Amino acid sequence: MESRSLLLKNETPGGNWLKVRVEGDKGVNRMGIGSRIRLYTAGKLGDPAALIGCRDVSVGFGYASGQTAITHFGLGKEETIDVEVILPHGKGTVNQKGVKGNQLLTVKP
């Protein structure tokens, strides 16, 4: 017996978020590909217990696929966080403290 199609209405409450884009120069590629982004609870930059999320900047996963070089993080109830960007090829680290959520953050080394 076939059932009729159903439409899902997502009623999950939203939370805060942050998108991070790395604009490289001086030996770091323009889109920051290969950079590692780590988010921490505000005031706890570098504390492994306060790590909220970690993503690598990449533009392709699989055959003939691609996406923008922007990382997206869900922050839940966190409104302010600390951001650590580890640049590729040993080009250093960029830290930003007290970053407000719900925005696109552009990091320039």
Q: Could you tell me the pLDDT band of residue 12, with boundaries at 50, 70 and 90? A: confident
Predicted confidence (pLDDT) per residue in 40-68, tens digit:
999 999 999 999 999 999 988 778 778 88
**What's residue 79's pLDDT?**
97
Least confident of 6-20, 27-41, 76-90: 6-20
Residue owning tokens 């009729």: 4
**What's residue 96's pLDDT?**
97
**Architecture of domain 16-107 in this structure:** Sandwich (2.60)
Map 41-98 to HEC letters: ECCCCCCHHHEEEEEECCCCCCCCCCCCCEEEEEEECCCEEEEEEECHHHCCEEEEEE
Q: Could you tell me the pLDDT band of residue 16, with boundaries at 50, 70 and 90? A: very high
66 or 31, which is more confident = 31
pTM of the model: 0.84
**What's residue 76's pLDDT?**
92
Average pLDDT of span 19-47: 93
